[in-house]
Amino acid sequence: MAIYFIFIATVRFEYTLIYLFSKFSYFILFWIQVITTIYSAFQNDNTFCFFAFFLFSVVRLIQFF
C-alpha cells in the first residue's frame, strides 16, 4: 500500500514538472516572438506586421496566465 502512494506521489510530481516546463517554454517562445517581431519591424519598417504579431503575442501571453 505504501508503494502505491509513493508511486502516485512520484507520478504527480512528474506531471507537475511537465506542466511547469510547458508553461516555461510557452513563456520563452513568447519572448522570442516579441524580440523577433520588433527586430523585423525595425528592419523592414512594416508597422502592420509589427502590430499583427504584437497582438498575437499578447494573446499568447494571456493564454500563459
Does 9 score more than 70 pLDDT? no
pLDDT per residue as tens digits for the range 31-61: 887 777 777 767 766 666 667 777 777 777 6
Q: What's the mean per-residue pLDDT of the chain?
A: 67
Distance (Å, rounded) from C-alpha 47 to C-alpha 40? 10
Distance (Å, rounded) from C-alpha 36 to C-alpha 18? 27
Does 19 score more than 60 pLDDT? yes
Q: For residues 53, 57, 60 and 65, what is the CA-based torsion angle, rounded to 10 degrees?
A: -160
Does 4 score more than 50 pLDDT? no
CB burial string 42-56: b at 16+ within 10 A, e below: eeeeeeeebeebbee
Residue whose C-alpha cell reads 496566465 in the numeric block: 65
